[in-house]
Amino acid sequence: MRKKEPKLGSGQQLLADFQTAFVSAATIEAAKYEAARSENELVSQLTAVSNGTYLQPGAMSGDAQARMTHDSLDAHIKKVQARQLESMNAGQLQELMIQANNTYHDRKIQVTILPGNKDVIESLWFNKYKGYRSGVIKKGHINGIIEEVVLDKNLLILRPTASAQLFNSELQNYLVYVIDPTSLLPTVEFNLL
Q: Are 68 and 42 in contact (CB under 8 A)?
A: yes
At 1 the pLDDT is 47
Q: Are 178 and 155 in contact (CB under 8 A)?
A: yes
Going residue by residue through the chain (193 aa), what tens digit of pLDDT does each one get? 455 555 678 889 999 999 988 888 888 888 889 989 989 998 888 888 777 778 777 777 788 788 888 888 888 888 888 888 888 888 888 899 999 999 999 999 999 999 999 899 999 999 888 889 999 998 899 999 999 999 989 999 999 998 888 888 899 999 999 999 888 899 999 999 9
At 187 the pLDDT is 95
Annotated domain spans of the chain? 11-104, 108-192
Rounded to a whole number of angstroms, the distance between the first and last alpha carbons of the chain is 24
Q: E-strand spans in the chain? A: 108-113, 121-127, 131-136, 141-150, 155-160, 171-177, 188-192
At 4 the pLDDT is 55
| Amino acid identity at 98 | I
CB-count burial class (<10 Å; 0-12, 13-18, 19+) for 69: exposed
User: Can you tell me whether residue 84 is helix, strand or coil?
Assistant: helix
∠ CA 65-68-74, rounded to 5°: 140
Say if pTM beats, i.e. exceeds, 0.85: no
What is the widest separation between alpha-carbon atoms in the chain? 87
Question: Which of 172, 174, 189, 173 lies closest to 117 in space, CA to CA?
Answer: 189
Measure CA 6 to chain center.
30
The phi and psi torsions of 140 (rounded to 5 degrees) equal: -75, -20
